[in-house]
């Protein structure tokens, strides 16, 4: 486990400059969108976290383009690690795996690091939102922040499944298609945002089920993944 | 036979990488497998390590089966492809981390091996500062440091200078005399003929003596 952690940390430290560059580009995009009042591309709503999906309140504007900020959140959220988490997931170092087999423990470390990354990515933007906009509150931002972080984790797991099935490209494509499909159906998004039993929004149990399902799938794929 | 590979075939994406390989390796002997790139040498070593599932056939070590992704019946020292050391850590730290996986760090043996490969003075340098030859020597040390009974080495002399090759060959003889089984895969038959007790040729997934 110690070797795994050090291997993961090293892979994250490598090429730090490129990570910083991607982060800077996103910071620019983020700042522009947070200050945006241009309704056609989803003007900033002080009651909804930047990365949270929304339902278009203008019948002349389709749902997908109304969610530019959410799309940017997910796109840069996936791009910023530059595939390092997936590469760690796929790491097949013979020196290590001849000593201990690759299995659930390896996947759990990957999952823990992915969760930590999603939380950190979201928290930084929460803080930045408060710094840039004085017209919002933690109470209004927090539920959307939790949802956005969860969706980002789900998309990372989809990308991971793609890697495990032999095609990173297909993983990214699948993640993009899934999110685009979800955003394209305003009525479905409206249902997800609406509260269900015990005032819990429908997205919460749906997201939880999807994340758990993908995690189980990825674990299954990892344990069956040959090293050649 | 200590290691027995029985009718082992492996097909990947419709291509037969290993074709009905039948071979046995005794204790206390050095075996060489010579063949060009792409002949299946590395895949055979992966099969013995249980890194792949057989399309047909089986592998056993010490009479116990090797099952894909399950705990191996014996400790194996292995070099397959470029070793993936953690570059930001020192040579000694990398060896400790690997040995600590099975709580098998033997300080005296590691010191002896590092000294014999002229790596002792560089043990506290970060691996990212190592040359190719130094990394390869470190890989050899990790393959031997836990007194593994079976040692599988794929192109172990890559990047080694003539003196280091000599040290490597002496170490292999020493390990063999201690009763260990060593299987070396290489496309250079020159070095193998110097130490191998038995040589095999691999071509197009088939092994022949």
Q: Answer whether residue A228 is part of any domain.
A: no
Using CA coordinates, name the residue in chain A closest to B154.
A94
The mean of the pLDDT values for chain A is 90
Residue B35 vs residues B49, B159, B205: alpha-carbon distances, Å: 20, 19, 10
The span from the CA of B200 to the CA of B209, in Å, is: 4
Model pTM score: 0.84
Cα distance from B85 to chain A (closest Cα, Å)? 8
pLDDT at residue A92 in the model: 79
A227 and B101 within 8 Å at the Cβ level: the answer is: no
Nearest to A3 among B70, B76, B98 (CB): B98
The span from the CA of B65 to the CA of B139, in Å, is: 27
Helix (H) or strand (E) holding A87: helix A84-90
Q: What is the value of ipTM here, to two decimals?
A: 0.91
CA dihedral angle for residue B109, residue B115, residue B121, residue B126, rounded to 10 degrees? -60
Nearest to A98 among B78, B81, B97 (CB): B78
Domains in chain B, CATH or no CATH each: 1-74+150-209 (3.40.50.300), 80-148 (no CATH)
Q: Is A6 on the interface with B (CB under 8 A)?
A: yes
pLDDT at residue A39 in the model: 56
pLDDT at residue A1 in the model: 64
Size of interface A-B (CB pairs under 8 A): 72
Range of the domain at A213: 2-223
pLDDT at residue B194 in the model: 87
Choose the most confident range, by mean pLDDT, from A16-25, A134-143, B7-16. B7-16
Where does residue B87 rank: exposed (0-12), middle (13-18), buried (19+ CB within 10 A)? middle
B72 and A98 within 8 Å at the Cβ level: the answer is: yes
Q: Answer whether residue A98 is part of any domain.
A: yes
Q: Answer whether residue A73 is part of any domain.
A: yes
Nearest to A95 among B89, B98, B100 (CB): B98
β-sheet bridge partners, residue B186 = B34
Residue A224 three-state SS: coil
The span from the CA of A85 to the CA of A78, in Å, is: 10
pLDDT at residue A44 in the model: 78
Q: Using pLDDT thresholds of 50, 70 and 90, give the confidence band for residue A3.
A: low
Q: Answer whether residue A34 is part of any domain.
A: yes
Q: Answer whether residue A154 is part of any domain.
A: yes
Interface of B with A (CB under 8 A): 12, 43, 46, 49, 51-53, 68-72, 75-81, 83-84, 86-89, 97-98, 100-102, 139, 142-143
Q: Which two tokens stand for residue A192?
A: 């997800």
Q: Is A16 on the interface with B (CB under 8 A)?
A: no
Tally of structural domains, chain A: 1
pLDDT at residue A16 in the model: 82
Using CA coordinates, name the residue in chain B closest to A3.
B97
Of A27, A65, A16, residue with least CA distance to A43: A65
Q: Answer whether residue A93 is part of any domain.
A: yes
B98 and A102 within 8 Å at the Cβ level: the answer is: no
Residue B31 vs residues A49, A160, B201: alpha-carbon distances, Å: 64, 40, 11
Q: Answer whether residue A76 is part of any domain.
A: yes
- E strand residue ranges, chain B: 3-12, 15-25, 29-34, 56-61, 64-65, 76-79, 150-154, 181-186, 198-203, 206-208
Q: Using pLDDT thresholds of 50, 70 and 90, give the confidence band for residue A184.
A: very high
Cα distance from B41 to chain A (closest Cα, Å)? 12
B46 and A103 within 8 Å at the Cβ level: the answer is: no
Using CA coordinates, name the residue in chain B closest to A7.
B86
pLDDT at residue A13 in the model: 66
């Amino acid at each position: 486990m110690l070797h795994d952690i050090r291997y993961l940390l090293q892979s994250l430290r490598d090429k730090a400059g490129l990570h910083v560059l991607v982060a800077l580009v996103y910071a620019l995009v983020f700042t522009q969108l947070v200050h945006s009042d241009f309704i056609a591309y989803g003007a900033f709503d002080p009651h909804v976290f930047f990365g949270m999906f929304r339902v278009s309140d203008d019948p002349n504007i389709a749902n997908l383009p109304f969610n530019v900020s959410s799309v940017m959140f997910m796109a840069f959220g996936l791009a910023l690690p530059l595939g390092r988490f997936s590469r760690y997931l796929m790491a097949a170092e013979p020196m290590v795996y001849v000593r201990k087999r690759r299995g659930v423990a390896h996947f759990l470390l990957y999952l823990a690091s992915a969760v930590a990354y999603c939380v950190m990515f979201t928290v930084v933007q929460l803080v930045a939102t408060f710094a840039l906009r004085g017209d919002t509150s933690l109470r209004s931002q927090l539920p959307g922040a939790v949802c956005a972080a969860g969706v980002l984790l789900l998309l990372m797991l989809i990308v991971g499944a793609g890697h495990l099935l032999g095609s990173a490209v297909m993983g990214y494509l699948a993640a993009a298609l899934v999110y685009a499909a979800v955003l394209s159906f305003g009525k479905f998004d409206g249902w997800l945002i609406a509260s269900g039993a015990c005032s819990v929004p429908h997205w919460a149990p749906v997201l939880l089920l999807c994340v758990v399902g993908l995690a189980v799938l990825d674990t299954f794929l990892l344990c069956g993944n040959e090293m050649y | 036979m200590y290691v027995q590979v029985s009718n082992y075939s492996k097909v990947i994406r419709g291509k037969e990488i290993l074709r009905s390989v039948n071979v046995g390796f005794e204790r206390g002997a050095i075996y060489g497998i010579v063949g060009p790139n792409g002949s299946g040498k590395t895949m055979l070593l992966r099969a013995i390590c249980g890194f792949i599932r057989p399309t047909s056939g089986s592998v056993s070590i010490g009479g116990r089966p090797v099952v894909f992704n399950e705990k191996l019946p014996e400790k194996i020292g292995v070099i397959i492809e470029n070793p993936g050391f953690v570059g930001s850590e020192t040579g000694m730290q990398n060896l400790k981390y690997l040995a600590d996986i099975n709580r098998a760090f033997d300080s005296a043996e590691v010191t002896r091996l590092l000294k014999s490969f002229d790596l002792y003075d560089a043990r506290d340098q970060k691996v990212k500062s190592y040359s190719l030859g130094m990394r390869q020597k470190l890989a050899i040390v990790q393959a031997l440091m836990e007194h593994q009974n079976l040692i599988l080495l794929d192109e172990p002399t890559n990047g080694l200078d003539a003196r280091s090759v000599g040290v490597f060959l002496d170490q292999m003889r020493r390990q063999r005399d201690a009763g260990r089984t060593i299987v070396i895969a290489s496309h250079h038959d020159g070095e193998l003929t110097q130490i191998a007790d038995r040589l095999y040729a691999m071509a197009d997934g088939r092994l022949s003596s």
